[in-house]
Chain A
Amino acid sequence: MSPNTAAILGLVFLFLLMAFGIPVSFAMILAGFLGSAYLISIDAAIYVLATNVWDQFSSYGLSVIPLFVLMGQIAYHSGITERLYNAAYTWVGRLPGGLASTTILASAGFASICGSNSATTATMGTIALPEMKRYKYNQALSTGSVAIGGTLGVVIPPSVVLIIIAVQTKQSIIQLFIANIVPGVILTGLFLATVFWLCIRNPGLGPPGPRTGMREKLLSLSGVVETMILFLLVIGGLYAGWFTPTEAGAAGSFGALVIGVARGKLSFKQFVRAIAETIRISSMVVLLIAGAVIFGRFLTVSRLPFELADWVVSLNVPRAAVLLVVLMIYLIGGCFVDAMGFLVVTIPIFFPLAEALGYDPVWYTVMITLVTTMGAVTPPVGVNVYIVSALTPDVNIGTIFRGISLFLVAYAVCLVLLIIFPELALYLPRTML
């Protein structure tokens, strides 16, 4: 059996394992281990296994993960969202669809200090959904805006998904964070435009909220200040080169902790809950990366990704067509498989391809992040949809998906903009050097 055949069989085996419900990380470790044992030797495979498990768990580069997750978790448990929501509410609440816009803006704000889409959705949903119900918002619009707003958690830095891609592809976490700022802002703007447009055309969808005075508006900004400070400290500090990503994560968690305690909103019990949640997520993510590295080693030895890349290049089809196919694969894969799991499995296969085609790795990362993030809101497996559905048991899941579909155009427009103007993603990271 040629190494390429072995690699293809390895991939089939991996997907079979995952289909049976074996956790993605375990499946990658097992398939990678058996594959390396076949292609090299059992001793080499054992060595790869033992050293990689130790290396990944004790990697300084990965220590950034628990710290950024902790920052988001502390923010999640310390009522920051509520204040963001109130601030956004006083500013845009009285526009058509104002509460939906409030939800989107507050989600974007929370996303700037939290790197997870499920945390963003859950925290925003608990506050925004009852409000929108009170003002008799259309259910599709209200649930859709919460679920889609949650996806900003991944797109706007800090983002755990970006950290994983950076680690897997040996890119700079800082560059990827900075590159995602403008696309995140554009996406937020497009979501807001969508809400506004829908509610102008059909005012019944989202009636405006009560009018607020200037004094109230200005006072509400104090709720944004703490988030701004955290964001500027973390992302600004990274951009300015003050600290490493790990240090930024630690400073951010510490800052969130100080804010939570100072505001009297973070009890010891909530702090412990944040810690427990953080160690669970981090452990899952680091094992996922260890699995990806072990499986990636097997694929590298088989040379399949490189030969695939060479083959595609030799086909002489326009590279945009290849990119489209790859993005479609991510889109479809993201619909069925957990976005993070799908990314770690496919990166070793498609990343060499994107490089061979001459795409900028940073830009390509922004693109696949956007596309896989959509997976969190597309049927049948849309994490955010299930979170929203758990928060509003009376709303049909189909209604939530319908609400989301209103916003998918915004995603498409953002992707097209990035294809036409790659500089939208690439300009800011370049100014760092």
Chain B
Amino acid sequence: MFNRGLAFVAGLSLVAMMLVTVGEMVSRMFGKPMAGTIEVIAWLAALTTAFALGYTQMHQGHVSIDLFTSRLSSRTRAMVNIAVYSVSAALFMIITWHVFKHAGVLKRTGSLSETMRVIVYPWVYLVSLGCAGLALALFLDFLKSCRQAFTLEGGKGSRACSGDQKEGR
């Protein structure tokens, strides 16, 4: 649910990005350029792409190479996936945390955008939220491969890692 919600916002933000850009071009044609459009578009782009990170992972949309892993038996592949997803989830938890902290730094220093002179840090928090969505999706994939590995082993351990994967997505 979480990542679907973020993806919904990402989609809206994409449409807004298109409309704002076209709107600015039209108003420029009438001799009334809107200052700061570039900043707004960049922030909307951040929302569009960062909020879709987890949704993309749900669809296995982050490009990877399965040339070697596709030849493994399904159980070995599940084991490899456990490693892959735990490392990836950890990586994005770290990224989420540090982007979050970076937002805090920008908040404290009162950093403003160049043209419109408005605060930037809320957008940084939002990007960090998008990264959190990806970390969550990866964690759920991790649980899923745990379940696969244990189920394939004989079914006994399947409960240990199963969790409720649908929740939170």
- Listed in ascending order, the chain A residues whose CB lies under 8 Å from chain B are 18-26, 29-30, 33, 46, 49-51, 53-54, 57-60, 62-63, 65-67, 70, 243, 246-247, 249-251, 253-254, 257, 272, 275-276, 278-284, 286-288, 336-338, 340-341, 380-381
Extra inter-chain contacts (13) besides given A24-B64, A336-B65, CB under 8 Å: A19-B67, A24-B62, A54-B102, A63-B41, A63-B45, A67-B18, A67-B21, A279-B14, A279-B55, A283-B55, A284-B56, A286-B49, A340-B63
Establish whether residues B49 and A30, one from each chain, have CB atoms under 8 Å apart when the complex forms. no
Q: What is the chain A residue whose CB lies nearest that of B80?
A: A20
- B39 contact set on A, CB distance < 8 A: 60
7 residue pairs, one from A and one from B, having the closest CB atoms: A250-B21, A63-B45, A23-B62, A279-B52, A283-B52, A58-B46, A50-B98
B residues near A246, Cβ cutoff 8 Å? 21, 41
**A to B CB contacts below 8 Å, 28 in the list:** A18-B65, A26-B62, A26-B88, A26-B91, A29-B95, A49-B95, A50-B101, A53-B95, A53-B99, A54-B102, A54-B127, A57-B50, A57-B130, A58-B42, A58-B43, A58-B45, A59-B45, A66-B48, A66-B49, A250-B22, A282-B48, A286-B49, A287-B49, A287-B62, A336-B65, A336-B67, A338-B63, A381-B65
Contacts of A287 in B (CB 8 A): 49, 53, 62
Chain B neighbourhood of A21, CB < 8 A: 64-66, 68-69, 80-81, 84
Cross-chain contact of B7 among A30, A279, A338, A381 (Cβ < 8 A): A279
Chain B residues whose CB sits within 8 angstroms of the CB of A281 once the complex forms: 61
B128 to chain A, nearest CB (A): 8
CA separation between A63 and B81, bound complex, in Å? 32
What chain A residues lie within 8 Å of B119 (beta carbons)?
none
B34 at the interface (CB under 8 A from A): no
B157 CB-CB contact with A under 8 Å: no
* Assembly CA distance A22 to B41 (angstroms): 31
With an 8 A cutoff between CB atoms, is B112 at the interface? no
Evaluate contact between A253 and B18: CB separation under 8 angstroms.
yes
Of A29, A247, A279, which contacts B21 at CB under 8 A?
A247
Pick from B14, B25, B81: contact of A251, CB under 8 Å: B25
Specify the main secondary structure of chain B where it touches its partner.
helix
List residues of chain A with CB within 8 A of the CB of B84.
20-22
**Residues A29 and B42 in contact, CB atoms below 8 Å apart:** no
Interface residues on B, range: 35 or more
B56: chain A residues within 8 A (beta carbon): 279-280, 283-284
Check A337 against B65 for contact (C-beta < 8 Å).
yes
Minimum distance in angstroms from A270 CB to a CB of chain B: 14
Closest residue to B24 on the A side, CB-wise? A247
Residues of A within 8 A of B93 (CB): none
A290 CB to nearest B CB, Å: 9
Q: Count how many pairs of residues, one from A and one from B, have CB atoms less than 8 Å apart in the complex.
A: 175
Cβ-based interface call for B136 (8 A):
no
User: Of residues 11 to 59 in B, which have CB atoms within 8 Å of A's CB atoms?
Assistant: 11, 14-15, 17-19, 21-22, 24-25, 38-39, 41-46, 48-53, 55-56, 59
Taking a contact as CB atoms closer than 8 A, the residue among B50, B61, B102 that contacts A51 in the complex is B102
Q: Which of B14, B53, B124 contacts A278 (CB 8 A)?
A: B14
Judge if B10 is at the interface, Cβ distance under 8 Å. Answer: yes
Q: Is the CB of B14 within 8 A of A70?
A: yes
Return the CB mask of B71-96 against A: 1 if under 8 Å, else 0: 00000000011011001100110110
Contact B17 A284 (CB under 8 A): no
Residues of B within 8 A of A18 (CB): 64-65
**B61's contact among A19, A253, A283, A286, by CB below 8 Å, is which?**
A283
Given contacts A279-B11, A283-B50, contact A46 B22 (CB under 8 A): no
For B21, B49, B127, the residue with the greatest tally of chain A CB atoms inside 10 Å of its CB is B49
Of all chain A residues, the one with the shortest Cβ separation from B44 is A63
From A380, which residue of chain B is reached at the shortest CB distance? B67
Min CB–CB distance B111 → chain A (angstroms): 11
Chain A contacts of B98 at CB under 8 A? 46, 49-50
In the bound complex, CA of A53 to CA of B101 (Å): 13
Cβ–Cβ < 8 Å partners of B42 in chain A: 58-60, 63
Q: Is A29 within 8 A of B91, CB to CB?
A: yes
Tell me which residues across on chain B come within 8 A of A381, comparing CB atoms.
Answer: 65, 67
Residue pair A275, B68 in contact (C-beta under 8 Å):
no
Closest A residue, CB atoms, query B94? A49
Known: A250-B22, A288-B63. A60 touches B49 (CB 8 A): no
What is the bound-complex CA distance between A118 and B120, given in angstroms?
37
Check A282/B95 contact, CB under 8 A, given A18-B64, A21-B80, A60-B38: no
